[in-house]
Amino acid sequence: MKKNWISVILVGVLLITLLPTTVMAAKLPNQFWGINDNYAAAKDNGDDNGIIQYGEATINLLSGLEETQQIKEILASRYYDVADAYDRAGNFPSAAYYYERYIPYGEFMNWTDGVKIAKAKAAQYRPTVQAYTKAVQPQKYYGSRNEPQFGTLMGQISETSQVQESMVLLYINFGDMPNDWDHLILKQARERKQAVEIAWNIQGEGSALWGIPSQGSYVNDFLNVLNQYADVPMYLRIGAEMNIWGDKPDPQAFQTAFRFLADAVHQRTRHVATVWSVAHASEWNTKMEDFYPGDAYVDWVGISAYLIRHFQGQEWPVDMRFNEVCFSAGDAADPVMVVKEAVEKFGDRKPIMLSECGSAHKTVSMGRDNTDWAVNNLKRMYWFVPMVYPQVKLIAYFNTYVAPETNDYALSHNSAMQSAYQSLIGAPHFIRNYGDSASQTYQPVTNHMVFAQKQTPLYTYPHIFGDDKPTVRYSLDGNTIGQADEAPYLLNYNFANTWIGEHTLKVEVLSKGSVVTEANYTLWVTENIPVEVNGKELISDTVAMMENDRVLVPMRTIFETLGAVVSWDDATQTAKAVKGGVTLEITIDQKELRKNGTVIVLDTPARIINGRTMVPVRAVSEALQAKVNWVEAENKVTVTTD
């Protein structure tokens, strides 16, 4: 079973040796000395307003001068002190501004701990907002073993697994063979059409690694058992959370052991994917990437992502807030920020899973109930993580409590959590049965995005440090059109009465009644033109639109619906569709369609809209022997094939 992983992260008071407030006389502006005296007095008296006032005055005075070593040293201390003063005052955006500007000076001074803290605080304290709308095509897909193209698998530990979940988490320690319970779960997964994540934990941790390559016989026997369930997709999570092991592993030893096991899995099985999985926050002087064995050995990257209200089971004073910030706990427990490091380091090439996750509804060591906080953050995790990071394609909840852990994540111990979970797994981005697809995922709203005159869902991910439940307000062309108060900040807005043309969508985030950040998007609204192929509406992320009296539709969607195989040449910006003996080629912004080499002149060229290649529906459909009609009364296009 899972250990209390966060308790093994030991954080002391990190001492940052900053430049004293008294400096040696040098060629500094005369004004500097009076400002510096006032700054020193403010420091001595613990006067944060004075530190900000005279620290900023020093920064403004010295910033335009040639940066000698002495000036860099002064600026390093002033930037950090001013940032800290804003931090203590709860003015997090201003603190983020000064922490960001401190970083290059801190690096110059080799203040490693200070730089690490400043980077973490700047990322957490900076308010951000991004709007999203639905997507019905894959946003990220890498073709890894057992990777769904569209949507996110969800489930929990085997002891509490439910029929309506699409995966189950099973623990089997390395060195053990599957027992009767494990076989029961594997058979049950087969019946329920569930995938299985197997946590293959290494009990001896670091000292056990060097001996793993000598255990080939056990590994082969273990994989032989898994092959008895070759119709059950499996994810084998090998030696998870190595970045916080109590018996610290040697990175080379871990890589060697993982590669040995991954080679065996890939050679002996076809239905088992390897998972390299880390704790979301490493020990202070540890880098998770140092343990990465290489892309050839890893099918999926996993994250243990736990949301904790009280880091290490205690309240932290303001001057020790860096503990919570650096380890993404307390006010820093935004689920997106929790998984950000691992996703951004590996999610450009590997599907991601939350191989274990939880939201702590009780701090056991403090006897503190955190139900409201935990429910809200569970909602944020299950909505925002797949929305912001579409490469996250599996979420497994750790629905249990193992004494004497500091935090209780068990859904079964809290009716509000249980109810919230049951509602959340019904979200449209979750896959119900392995092998199926979700009904939708998400794409970010961007400038020049096209919306049809119909009802469209808008969602928003806000990040405001210190407020995990802000308000989001939507405005169109200066007029408020809706407001939402909790994740996922959904507004189903009907653009039917919005005139065709350019509009401005504003998304504001309000905290404690004030706007703290906003995003503005220039949108284009077009008439709603349904396209039906053999009586079924063509569904795509990008709406059909009229140009030069010709209807443009998403190229890949229409070609694949008509039975063609599509490829794309990015260098020439040319799409190719092949069906039977017909080959079509069409190039962006050119009024030519080539059918088996013969040029067909188009009235309207192919274009890229909303990130999708749009092509004239009549020309490409008829080139594939389909019949196209315009139904004037219903303002729609019908396409039929023989």
Residue 221 token pair: 């026997």
Mean pLDDT of 146-157: 97
65-69, 128-132, 227-231: least confidently modelled range: 65-69
- Residue 262 in contact with residue 297, Cβ under 8 Å? yes
Secondary structure percentages of the chain, helix, strand, coil, to 5: 35, 30, 35
Evaluate if residue 593 carries a pLDDT over 50. yes
In this prediction, residue 27 carries a pLDDT of: 79
Query: Between 3.40.50.720, 3.30.300.30, 2.50.20.10, 2.60.40.10, what CATH number should domain 444-526 receive?
Result: 2.60.40.10
Using DSSP's 3-state secondary structure scheme, residue 642 falls into coil
In this prediction, residue 613 carries a pLDDT of: 86
Alpha helices in 272-399 (DSSP H): 322-326, 335-346, 371-388
Evaluate if residue 52 carries a pLDDT over 50. yes
* Closest C-alpha among 351, 250, 246 to residue 298: 351
Average pLDDT value over all residues in the chain: 93
Mean pLDDT of 602-606: 89
Q: How confident is the model at residue 26 (pLDDT cuts 50, 70, 90)?
A: low
Q: CA-to-CA distance for 553 and 604, rounded, in angstroms?
A: 12
- Residue 51 in contact with residue 42, Cβ under 8 Å? yes
* Closest C-alpha among 262, 337, 271, 342 to residue 302: 342
Evaluate if residue 459 carries a pLDDT over 70. yes
- Residue 157 in contact with residue 194, Cβ under 8 Å? no
Mean pLDDT of 343-358: 98
Beta-strand pair 167-171/195-200? parallel
In this prediction, residue 609 carries a pLDDT of: 83
- CATH match of 137-424 with 1.10.10.350: no
Give the residue extent of every domain in the chain: 5-126, 137-424, 444-526, 531-640
* Closest C-alpha among 498, 489, 556, 550 to residue 527: 498
Q: Which residues pair with 574 in a beta bridge?
A: 569, 587
In this prediction, residue 86 carries a pLDDT of: 98
- DSSP assignment of 236-301: EEESTTGGG-SSPPPHHHHHHHHHHHHHHHHHH-SSEEEEEEEESS--TT--GGGG---GGG-SEE
- In sequence order, the 6+-apart residues with CB closer than 8 A to the CB of 27 are none
pLDDT single digits (tens) 526-564: 999 999 999 998 888 888 888 888 899 888 888 889 999
Domain topology for 5-126 = 1.25.40
504: alpha, beta or left? (left if phi > 0; alpha if psi -120 to 50): beta
Q: CA torsion angle for 595, 598, 601, 605 (degrees, to 10)?
A: 50
Evaluate if residue 7 carries a pLDDT over 60. no
In this prediction, residue 18 carries a pLDDT of: 47
Q: What global pTM score does this model have?
A: 0.92
- Residue 58 in contact with residue 78, Cβ under 8 Å? yes
Evaluate if residue 428 carries a pLDDT over 60. yes
Strand order in the sheet with 636-640: 536-537, 531-533, 636-640, 627-631
pLDDT single digits (tens) 505-516: 999 999 999 999
568: alpha, beta or left? (left if phi > 0; alpha if psi -120 to 50): beta
CATH class of the domain whose range is 531-640: alpha beta
pLDDT single digits (tens) 279-322: 999 999 999 999 999 999 999 999 999 999 999 999 999 999 99
**Percentage of the chain exceeding pLDDT 90:** 85
Q: What is the CA radius of gyration of the chain?
A: 28
Q: CA-to-CA distance for 84 and 114, rounded, in angstroms?
A: 11
